[in-house]
A and B are shown apart, each in its own frame.
Chain A
Amino acid sequence: METTNFVYNLIPNETIAIIVISVIPLIFLIVYALLAILGELKISAWIQERLGPMRTGPWGILQPIAEVVKLIQKEDLTPDSANKPLFNLAPYIIFMGAYASFAVIPFSRYFVPSGINIGLFYIFAVGSIAVIGIVMGGWASNNKYSLLGAMRSVAQIISYEIPGAMAILSVAVLASSLDLEKINIAQEGGIWNWFIFGGQGSWSKIWVFPFTLVLSLIYLVASLAETNRTPFDIPEGESELVAGYHTEYSGMKFAMFFFAEYANMFVVAAVLTITFFGGWNSPFGNFMQGPGWDVFWFISKAFFFVILQIWLRWTLPRLRVDQLMYVGWKVLLPFSFICFLFISLFKMIN
């Protein structure tokens, strides 16, 4: 089936259509961030046998809005000794990196903001922009904790991008494409055709299943590291670095860091969904399959992985920086290479 963007059909004027297309993910992102913050608050509360916020609105569901209002009201401090242009720019660059990824994330076969044919590559490329923002923020704060956090963050994100990229590359091999739409379409026809089970094909693909499973786990771990979530929240490791690279930020600028973190969580969850878990496809073949259902399946799968990240955060302790490097370079990287090699061989033989 040929994919199109329904907005172009609705709005004849191309300029307005483009603006609308780029705003829709932003609106989604804001709504999602509020939901994710609420989820973080409530899930952590349930894990810890608390009630969580209960005062704002019924069962505290308006709490995220209250938090946003609080952050907007707060004084926007810039330290005296900070490098002001870089300090002020950093949060926006980090957010930009996260938001730019939404340009290629296909929510449905009728809504792909930008259907470029190197979508996977693009996500990895713009995802790295966040590193620049983190270094800028950490260095410009003129705070030793921020600097340590930024240094750790760069080391961490760079080392974890490689195993993550290897995992994703194997999907590109299986799908023979970097285009996220094509990857989605290649997984049509029920749960059995998802790339975690080797994609479409004959029974011989069972050989590939262990490798794709390992790769999906590797990507999950790497994505946790890339979004600086526990057990890899070393750059902002609260107990040693106070708040890491965003120690000196307050008010809206801090909110941007916060927002970017949640946006990044969604991006990695979306990539995981698209590459291994069928993207917009229904797990039941043609049942519940269609443009409308696409959005439902895609968002629910992505939310599942977001919730998984939240769940892990409230369960696990934090690794140390050298152990993190050890896991990245000596465990994940060799395994991802081996799996990638096997999947490539399998693809060649088939």
Chain B
Amino acid sequence: MGEKKRIELDYSKIESDRMRLNVGPQHPSTHGVLRLEVELDGEIVTEVVPHIGYLHRCFEKHAEKMTYPQVIPYIDRMDYVTSMNNELPYVMAIEKMLGIEVPEKVQYIRVIMCELNRIASHQIAVATFGLDAGAFTPFLYFFRDREYILAIFEKASGARLLFNYFWIGGLAADVHPTFKEDVLAIVKQVRKTNKEIEDLLIYNKIFIERTANVGILPPDVAINYACSGPVLRGSGVKFDLRKNEPYSIYDRFDFDIPVGMGEVGTVGDCWDRNIVRMREMEQSCRIIEQAIEQMPNEGDVQEKLPKKIKPPKGDIYMRAENPKGDLGFYIVSNGTDKPERVKARGTSFVNLSVLPEISKGYMFADLILILGSIDIVLGEVDR
């Protein structure tokens, strides 16, 4: 059904008026306050110019005036749906500079929390992607499940969205006594819902028609644009920091890296990026199950630290696999208790930069889907 190929027009022969359409900053499908300046030829997109910065909150400037632990709540606010994952590279960077080893139990709790948050983030990604395609019901199924995950976070950290849970050298608090059972119950529920969503949305004929062969991102372009996460893996590049450059304790777990294989269309189309997220949820479930099994019950959750955290002079770049891709922090220390510079390499920021490249020549409705499949959070784009 429909054109299988990218619609290509020879503009030298066709003369028609182009329309410049302003999509956003207030628009239902820009996932926040993104503004896209779109040039349309009828329904076909000829040019996309993203204008960002509407949510710029001067994170990097603020970070220079804070002590190292005070920066963590600001990091939560970058990608506000994956706060746990955001905190991890930052605290790991400081811990590496200070040369401290965090307790075993902390490592496990961090991994479990990160993987739970990865599931929650992918649920939002797939849900909003379905919403962009016009399917409203899967959205609410996912949000219902996400509530259970947020309840765990709430029990552990006291917050539902912005946790401030990973501290330098440990955690803000220990998990609650029934943590393990609660997490396993969630894993079960996540698998059940994913099965439902696959039947309802992912393998739906209309959904496949809409998303297959749309927004094709070839692997070399993806690498050149430094895309990461499901956007890179959707293009068939088997690269995951948890495997390729294991940090924390990810080398202890057995899991696969799902990549886009072009099952219903071409490798690197919107459907592939989406299915990578669905399959990663399953892999996260596997990691969580193994981590729950290996996790020690007893132990301290905070390493002894000096009152003022003063990393040695120098700079460090630490990255970790965020649900959306690799999130990096470039931290320059001047030997005092305040960082000289904290630069965040926003995953969404980098992934969004590929949008103008891959959305030309598709229909306007496809542009929205391509944007949805990149899965950006404007808090991280604008920081």
| Residues of chain A having any CB pair with chain B under 8 Å | 44, 47-50, 144-145, 148, 230-231, 233-234, 237-240, 242, 314-323, 326-327, 331
Write out the residue numbers on chain A whose beta carbons fall within 8 Å of the beta carbon of B140.
Answer: 48-50
Distance (Å) between the CB of B50 and the closest chain A CB? 16
Tell whether B368 is near chain A: CB-to-CB under 8 Å.
yes
**Cβ contact of B28, chosen from A48, A242, A321, A331, cutoff 8 A:** A242
| Residues of chain B having any CB pair with chain A under 8 Å | 1-3, 19, 21-22, 27-29, 43, 130-137, 140-141, 144, 200-201, 204, 206-207, 209-210, 363-368
State the CA gap A144–B3 with chains docked (Å). Answer: 26
Q: A144-B19, A231-B134 are in contact. Are A323 and B1 (CB under 8 A)?
A: yes
State the CA gap A254–B137 with chains docked (Å). Answer: 25
Are the CB atoms of A315 and B2 closer together than 8 Å?
no
Write out the residue numbers on chain B whose beta carbons fall within 8 Å of the beta carbon of A148.
Answer: 21, 43, 364
Write out the residue numbers on chain A whose beta carbons fall within 8 Å of the beta carbon of B365.
Answer: 234, 237, 239-240, 318, 320-321
The 6 closest A-B pairs by CB, nearest first: A318-B134, A317-B135, A317-B133, A48-B140, A239-B29, A323-B2
Write out the residue numbers on chain B whose beta carbons fall within 8 Å of the beta carbon of A315.
Answer: 135, 137, 200
Write out the residue numbers on chain B whose beta carbons fall within 8 Å of the beta carbon of A321.
Answer: 43, 363, 365
Write out the residue numbers on chain B whose beta carbons fall within 8 Å of the beta carbon of A320.
Answer: 2, 209-210, 363, 365-366
State the CA gap A144–B23 with chains docked (Å). Answer: 10
What are 15 A-B pairs at a CB distance below 8 A?
A: A48-B141, A237-B365, A238-B28, A238-B134, A239-B29, A240-B367, A242-B27, A316-B135, A317-B133, A317-B135, A319-B209, A320-B2, A320-B210, A321-B365, A326-B1
State the CA gap A231–B209 with chains docked (Å). Answer: 12
Distance (Å) between the CB of A299 and the closest chain B CB? 28
State the CA gap A242–B25 with chains docked (Å). Answer: 12
Write out the residue numbers on chain B whose beta carbons fall within 8 Å of the beta carbon of A234.
Answer: 365
State the CA gap A321–B362 with chains docked (Å). Answer: 12
State the CA gap A48–B136 with chains docked (Å). Answer: 9
With CB as the reference atom, state the residue of chain B lying closest to A45: B140
Task: Give me 16 other A-B pairs in contact (C-beta within 8 A), A144-B21, A317-B206, A318-B133 excluded.
Answer: A148-B43, A148-B364, A233-B134, A234-B365, A239-B132, A314-B136, A315-B137, A316-B135, A317-B135, A317-B207, A318-B134, A318-B206, A318-B365, A319-B209, A320-B2, A323-B1
Write out the residue numbers on chain B whose beta carbons fall within 8 Å of the beta carbon of A239.
Answer: 28-29, 131-134, 365, 368
Distance (Å) between the CB of B28 and the closest chain A CB? 6
State the CA gap A10–B219 with chains docked (Å). Answer: 78
State the CA gap A262–B133 with chains docked (Å). Answer: 23
With CB as the reference atom, state the residue of chain A lying closest to B207: A317
State the CA gap A322–B2 with chains docked (Å). Answer: 7
Distance (Å) between the CB of B187 and the closest chain A CB? 20
State the CA gap A239–B372 with chains docked (Å). Answer: 10
With CB as the reference atom, state the residue of chain A lying closest to B208: A317
Write out the residue numbers on chain B whose beta carbons fall within 8 Å of the beta carbon of A316.
Answer: 134-135, 204, 206
Write out the residue numbers on chain A whose beta carbons fall within 8 Å of the beta carbon of B1.
Answer: 323, 326-327, 331
**Cβ contact of B368, chosen from A47, A145, A233, A240, cutoff 8 A:** A240
**Cβ contact of A326, chosen from B2, B144, B366, cutoff 8 A:** B2
Are the CB atoms of B364 and A240 closer together than 8 Å?
yes
With CB as the reference atom, state the residue of chain B lying closest to A147: B19
With CB as the reference atom, state the residue of chain A lying closest to B23: A240
State the CA gap A239–B368 with chains docked (Å). Answer: 7
Are the CB atoms of B2 and A317 closer together than 8 Å?
no
Write out the residue numbers on chain A whose beta carbons fall within 8 Å of the beta carbon of B366.
Answer: 320
Write out the residue numbers on chain A whose beta carbons fall within 8 Å of the beta carbon of B134.
Answer: 230-231, 233, 237-239, 316-318
Are the CB atoms of B206 and A314 closer together than 8 Å?
no
Most B C-beta atoms less than 10 A away, residue of A231, A317, A319, A321:
A317
Write out the residue numbers on chain A whose beta carbons fall within 8 Å of the beta carbon of B367.
Answer: 240
Write out the residue numbers on chain B whose beta carbons fall within 8 Å of the beta carbon of A233.
Answer: 134
State the CA gap A189–B305 with chains docked (Å). Answer: 88
State the CA gap A50–B140 with chains docked (Å). Answer: 9
State the CA gap A327–B207 with chains docked (Å). Answer: 15
Write out the residue numbers on chain A whose beta carbons fall within 8 Å of the beta carbon of B132.
Answer: 239
Distance (Å) between the CB of B194 and the closest chain A CB? 16
State the CA gap A240–B134 with chains docked (Å). Answer: 10
Distance (Å) between the CB of A233 and the closest chain B CB? 7
With CB as the reference atom, state the residue of chain A lying closest to B26: A242
Distance (Å) between the CB of B186 and the closest chain A CB? 17
Q: A239-B368, A240-B364, A317-B207 are in contact. Are A322 and B3 (CB under 8 A)?
A: yes
Write out the residue numbers on chain B whose beta carbons fall within 8 Å of the beta carbon of A49.
Answer: 140-141, 144
Write out the residue numbers on chain B whose beta carbons fall within 8 Å of the beta carbon of A314.
Answer: 136-137
Distance (Å) between the CB of B251 and the closest chain A CB? 39
Write out the residue numbers on chain A whose beta carbons fall within 8 Å of the beta carbon of B29.
Answer: 239-240
**Cβ contact of A317, chosen from B28, B201, B363, B364, cutoff 8 A:** B201
Q: A48-B137, A239-B133 are in contact. Are A318 and B210 (CB under 8 A)?
A: yes
